[in-house]
Amino acid sequence: MFMFINFGLPSIFFMMGMFIFVSNRKHLLSMLLSLEYMVLSLFLLLFIFLNLLNYENFFSMMFLTFSVCEGALGLSILVSMIRTHGNDYFQSFNILQC
């Protein structure tokens, strides 16, 4: 039971986030939120794994820093897309348009 809570629960969280990411492809904001949910579940898994092995949590703090940078980059892409196209639908976004 202890091993399921430690490794099974974050893995289920990650799979739920991946399912939401695959099923919600209409809005960029919902995709970014599901990606952040997946990153947080990976952070929980990494934190539990490093605590069980009695390692320092320096790597988990680096992972959290990079995930915050990734979230800020995603939000900046979202803001620039809303400014240029007026919404966050993928149907109105054409890559070939200059």
DSSP-derived secondary structure letter, 90? S
Q: Measured between alpha carbons, how far is residue 12 from residues 33, 36, 55, 59 in Å?
A: 17, 15, 24, 23
40 within a domain of the structure (yes/no): yes
* CB atoms inside a 10 Å sphere around CB 42: 17
Quote the strand ranges of the chain, DSSP E: none
Q: Is residue 64 in a domain?
A: yes
- Selected residue with higher pLDDT from 1 and 13: 13
Each residue's pLDDT tens digit, 20-67: 888 877 888 888 899 999 999 999 888 888 888 888 888 888 998 999
Domain residues for the domain of 58 are 2-85
**Is 91 a domain residue?**
no
- The arithmetic mean of pLDDT across residues 6-17, rounded, is 85
Domain total for the chain? 1
Domain holding 17: CATH number?
1.10.287.3510
